Structure 1
Amino acid sequence: MEFMLQLMQVKKTIEVVKNFPGLGEKIKKAREGDKRSLSQICRESGISRPYWYQLENEQIYSSVSEEMIRKIEATLGVDFGVSFED
């Protein structure tokens, strides 16, 4: 009987939290400058309309992931300047 060695992968996640004042307004302006409907933008970015409005109004009660911001940037074709480099 032959045994296969299986490797278990372990992922280390480092959480860095940084404030980006005015990011919600930037998201809103970028959306308003886009010709697509909010429904289409939300569909393409995988974000619900209620959550999108919470982002624009900065009424998020937990941190927004960098991945989420990158999805929005990609969908709208913009760069919001979100960086964790000092």
Structure 2
Amino acid sequence: MVKIRRYVDVEASGIGEKIKQARKASGRSVEVLAGAAGISRTYWHDVEAERIRDALPENTLRRIEQVLDVDFGVKFDD
């Protein structure tokens, strides 16, 4: 058996600002939210500032959405 992997990138304009607004609306600190999402505070700030080197992994985005209790509407075409 051979595994085949497919990577798909989608553009999500303004996602960092949306995350920042949702964080502020939640009233919780970056430390609390990042910890709940399983990422560092520094990485959370990098996501908000859209300073991600390559691409934000989908599972990280989904964890951020989960801790903020929002859906940013990022969809893949499959």
After TM superposition, the score normalised by the length of structure 1 is: 0.82
Q: 1:12 to 1:21 in 2, by over 3 A?
A: same
Number of the residue aligned with 2:23: 31
- Give distance in 2, aligned partners of 1:10 and 1:52: 35
Look up the equivalent residue of 1:25 and give its one-letter code: E
- Provide the aligned length of Structure 1 versus Structure 2: 78
- Give distance in 2, aligned partners of 1:41 and 1:10: 38
**Following TM superposition, where does structure 1 have runs of at least 4 consecutive aligned residues deviating by more than 2 angstroms?**
9-13
Number of the residue aligned with 1:45: 37
Number of the residue aligned with 1:58: 50
Match of 1:12 among 4, 8, 27: 4
Choose 1 or 2 for highest CA Rg.
1
Identity percentage of aligned residues = 44
Unaligned segments of structure 2, at least 5 residues: none
